[in-house]
A and B are shown apart, each in its own frame.
Chain A
Amino acid sequence: MRSTQVAALLAFALAALLPMLPGVPAYWLTLGSLIGLSAMVALGIVVLTGVAGVVSFGQAMFVGFGAYTTAILTTRYGWPPLATLPVAVLLTGLLAWGIGAITLRLKGHYLPVATIAWNISFFYLTGGLDAFGRFDGISGIPPITIAGLSFAGGASFYLLTLAILALMVVATANLLDSRAGRAIRALRGGVLAAESFGIDTGRARILAFVYAAVLAAISGWLYAHFQRAINPTPFSVTVSIDYLLMAVAGGVGQIGGALVGAGLVTLVRDKLQDVLPALLGTAGNFESIVFGFALILILQFAPEGLWPHLRRWVGRRPEAPAGSPVAAAPSPPPAGAPAGAPAPLLSVVHLRKTFGGLVAVDDLTFRVGAGEIVGLIGPNGAGKSTSFNLITGMLPANGGSIGFRGEELRGWPARRIAPLGLARTFQHVKLVDGMSVLDNVAIGAHLHGRAGPVAGALRLDRAEEARLFARARAALARVGLPGAGDTVAGELPLGQQRLVEIARALALEPALLLLDEPAAGLRHAEKQALAGLLRAVRASGVGVLLVEHDMDFVMELTDRLVVMNFGAELAQGRPAEIQANPAVVEAYLGSAA
């Protein structure tokens, strides 16, 4: 058991002891319950905003979905409270999925804006329709009873809230440390990198959105049975902002941040509600002024929130990146092209790409066979990286064809190409910065697993995870970084980050490996090691296409070269032939005249 788990367990045990202490005021338990309910919503925001990078100003609306669902079902249709929970969760999940499907594929700011509009609409809808009791709301909601046990009392409800919160914390930690969770975390490293390893980034964002909404709905379900009466006010946009403030103040990147933030904001609000109206002489929600400016100041001065600072005070290093403690299994032999297949792996024919009037790639034709290293070289701006992006489906080609293992790839998105066994690295490294090296490499193995979010949250995916991490560890060992697995990816020197990218690509177990300037930033000895690695990759039957500017490296390593200039092919041939080709020499050095 890791120290964080011990600390969390201890914190929850202490919190659970609170009602047992003699002389604890009932109001403390009420506050504690409110903190717990808010922490559930803030926990969802950690996954949604802190991990997936999606901002929502509508979480209070999802709390409202849960609260109104149970309020209507219990008061009008006589349902027992427990029976409404699955309905509330399903209904909210479905609505969140629908909302997410409409907006989440758009660029960043549409979703937050849409959530403001939706939350306001929800406010007026519940306030304006008889079905929702208008602005008077719905009262007479029964307390929760489970197996004859009533949770109407302050202490019993507090303990129930705490127990559910603890379950949510465990489920969230599990989810983030699973295949589905890595897909969500991969969003931070850029959509393109994630998609090129077969991750459906749209679905990963929707998953985070639905998960956060469901946590909010459960909080709302509890809230309705706690207050026994609801009205639209606690589900307004202003309250949504409060939830966001909790997560941001505590530290939106960490689970602990949500808990600390919820506690802090709830307690401060409680004090301010007493102090401010007395100070100003009028009644009103003046704490919103303090909270608004507090949020601005936090974002200006400490965007990472309180949690990292708290951990530093306690004297512990930032959370060690999670990796499964499973012994490295021997690497399975890489799946290269079928033995003895004579057809080329990749065959690019008359490929063409234009940006407006600019022809970036003009009538490019070449092939890469299994067990062959082909270099794609040319001066800057010759169209090499564009060609990579066309082959890997990141840009649509205007003409020509891209044949790969018998399929025509032109028009395919990156996500569909990756499962065929095509992996790549990027000219500008695209790793997930805050994630461990091993987790980054495991993203490459994404397509070799199938466990979903539910299996991840319930820890039913351990056998598969062990396999994925064994693959990741083996790939990391192959690039010569067996000890770097626990390091945070962004802390490695740039050259080693390139190697991690190669390891991630190898973890896909590709038939064709596309490397965009793999040797840039490496020292001489590291380049030698890289060349050795690529030779071993070639020997295992994998085709390699590489763009590289280090000519010694290219000439020594490659079997054939394709030289590009101004988007078009200038020459093809063996390295020695290319070196002797006058057109190539002229393109690189200028004409002798």
Chain B
Amino acid sequence: MDLSIFVILFQDGVVSAAIYALLALAMVLVFTVTRVIFVPIGEFVSFGALSLAALELGRAPGTVWLLLLFGLASGIVTLWSERRVLTARIWLRTLAETVVLPVAVAALVLLLAPHRPSQWLQVLLALAVTVPLGLFLYGAVYRPLAQASVLVLLIVSVALHIALVGLGLIFFGAEGSRTAPLSQVSLTLGDLSLSGQALAVLVVTAVLIAGLYLFFGRTLIGKALQATAVNRLGAQLVGISPLFSGRFAFGLAALIGTAGGILISPLTTIYYDTGFIIGLKGFVAAIIGGLVSYPVAAGAALLVGIIESFASFFASELKEVIVFMIIVPILFVRSRRSLVLEDEE
């Protein structure tokens, strides 16, 4: 292996690592706020990428129907769980959010899609049609289980992932897609050449991470979410609604996941089930960070991305095995360190 291959592999690794870091951050966010291990974040990667790919072809993406479906389910569950305190306001708010909003987005997408709008508008439409799914999944699936144990929530997450992958196959088909790069620029620094898309991935990731940092450090909502993460009951007692925090965390995670999918789809072909493996790698990073530490998770994502990149060069068939086996030594070290007994809640 000469230096130029090393540089290319390293660069590839860093670009994938940026996506894994985003997903890892989203998972840490959702876990700390709601105790949900958000396995279906991978589906947001797939759905975001495939929605954009459909829009590029002038077709309405299948996510439109998912949006209507889950909006309705979320609305029904919301009305049911608030049936004792139903007021006209709750009715209207629920209706606006779970029926009017999805119908409006769907109408917009169906109207605009055949005209092949500009790339930026396509990206916005892909986000608009995918991100609200995060809120609806929370409302329909997780909200009724707010008191359940971490393990039950995990089983539900995995079940939801399985169901969504099946729906993805129905709505997007078995073929993979690759979208047009967001940027055609190409930078050359001596031997090193950086594609515009890779640059876009790094810039957007950096901006999102900085944005999250500012959001949690500087805004009231961010601090409220942090408070919920640290102590759920305490946060509730000082008037921070767990419902609000949960919805916000899921919405943000859906946004991050969809953005990740849109960023990575010009670099690799995305199938209806690709997102799971991508999400899982973000997850390996999140686990290394103990599902609580943002900086460790981001650092671990870098490690995962680079190991994967070199593994795919030296042993492409065992690439996935090598990546997932990273967690074995990590878990081993953790298990040696945390032998203190405690009862789980």
| B-binding residues in A (CB < 8 A) | 53, 55, 57, 102-103, 105-110, 112-114, 116-118, 120-121, 124-125, 128-129, 190-192, 195, 201, 238, 241, 244-245, 248, 280, 282, 284-286, 288-289, 291-293, 295-296, 299-300, 303, 394, 413-414, 430
Contacts and interface: CB of A to CB of B under 8 A. Distances in A.
B166 A288 contact: yes
Contacts of B156: 295-296, 299
Nearest to A113: B287
B140 to A, nearest CB: 9
Contacts of A128: 317-318, 321
A112 B151 contact: yes
Contacts of A120: 277, 280, 320, 324
B191 interface: no
B152 A105 contact: no
A55 B151 contact: yes
B280 A116 contact: yes
Contact of B155 (A125, A195, A299, A414): A299
Interface centre among A53, A124, A125, A190 (most CB of B within 10 A): A124
B154 A241 contact: no
Contact of A117 (B170, B319, B324): B324
A394 B343 CA distance: 11
Nearest to B287: A113
Contact of A248 (B155, B170, B325): B155
Greatest chain A CB density within 10 A among B151, B174, B332 is at: B151
Contacts of A118: 324
A285 B166 contact: yes
Contact of A303 (B152, B159, B174): B152
Q: On chain B, which size bracket covers the interface?
A: 35 or more
B141 A296 contact: yes
Contacts of B167: 289
B321 A124 contact: yes
Instruction: Give the most central of A107, A192, A248: most B CB within 10 Å.
Output: A107
B98 to A, nearest CB: 18
B334 A106 contact: yes
A121 B169 contact: no
A512 to B, nearest CB: 21
A303 B169 CA distance: 29
B141 A106 contact: no
Contacts of A414: 341
A222 to B, nearest CB: 25
B167 to A, nearest CB: 6
Nearest to A293: B163
B194 to A, nearest CB: 30
B324 A121 contact: yes
B166 A124 contact: no
B235 interface: no
B320 A124 contact: yes
A288 B321 contact: no
Interface string B164-189: 11110110011000000000000000
B117 interface: no
Contacts of B335: 102-103, 105-106
**Which one of A55, A282, A286, A413 has the greatest number of beta carbons of chain B within 10 Å?**
A55
A191 B321 contact: no
B284 interface: yes
A108 B344 contact: yes
A414 B324 CA distance: 36
Contact of A288 (B162, B174, B320, B342): B162
Nearest to A57: B158
Contacts of B277: 120
Nearest to B286: A113
Nearest to A119: B324
Interface stretch (B6-14, B142-150, B205-213): B142-150
Interface string B291-308: 100000000000000000
B9 to A, nearest CB: 20
A289 B170 CA distance: 10
Contact of B159 (A110, A116, A192, A296): A296
Contacts of B163: 288-289, 291-293, 296
